[in-house]
Structure 1
Amino acid sequence: MSKKLKEFLIWTIAFGTVGAIIYGGSHMVKNYRNQQWDEFIAEQHCMVVGKQPSTGFFSPAQTIYRCGNSLYYRND
């Protein structure tokens, strides 16, 4: 193999590895946050009081929860 091909393969593998780690880590964090939210809702006996539709391209739809005297908005 030529030196340029070896260098290309090393860089490709390095970027692929880093990308896979970041991708996997983001999914782990998302799953953890969802689990924590579900536990909070169950412990606080929260109720869904409504939904707010998306108001634009960058604003997602939201679910509105009432927990005691507090309202929480969660992106769908």
Structure 2
Amino acid sequence: MWDTFLRRFLHGTFPGLLADAALVKRRGNLLVLCLLLTRGLPPAKLHFLGGYVETLLTHFYKCPVRLELQTVPAKVPYKYL
């Protein structure tokens, strides 16, 4: 249930920029979110949105949240065999 909320929140915060599904890791009390984004926004706006997500989710979950962002030029085509 919490992962669904996180994925929907990230999809709404970064509309059309998610190149792949968000990866949610829990390390003890720390929540780590790994995102692969396309380069659709200027870097300053991406940094602002990253800080916004970390701050809001830290207050919401009452535990530290860290966001790891990576950008790619375009959506990465994956082929699952």
TM-score over 0.5 for the pair: no
Q: TM-score, normalised by structure 1?
A: 0.30
| Bigger fraction of residues in helix | 1
Q: Which has the larger radius of gyration?
A: 1
Q: TM-score, normalised by structure 2?
A: 0.28
